[in-house]
Homo-oligomer: A and B are copies of this chain.
Amino acid sequence: MKISARNVFSGQVVEVKTGAVAAKVKVDIGGGNVVTSMVLANSVDDLGIEVGEEINVVIKSTEVMLSK
């Protein structure tokens, strides 16, 4: 499947924390960068997200800011 989001990076799940509604997942995408994602808790079950698994982070370009 191809997606219009310009930022699709593969990596490994390094942390999963689930709340009643929301969940936090951290993914090591290499180069010293660990990406943090907040998703709905049932996305974690639905995708079977577990520490150690390979996964992609997907980020729309309009959501990326720049700072100097």
Chain A residues packing against B (C-beta within 8 Å) = 1-9, 17-25, 27, 29-33, 35-40, 42-43, 46-49, 53-68
Contacts and interface: CB of A to CB of B under 8 A. Distances in A.
A4 B5 CA distance: 14
Nearest to A26: B6
Given A4-B67, A56-B67, A67-B4, A37 B61 contact: yes
Given A30-B31, A32-B31, A47-B2, A38 B62 contact: yes
A58 B3 contact: yes
Contacts of A32: 30-31
B55 A3 contact: no
Contacts of A19: 19-22
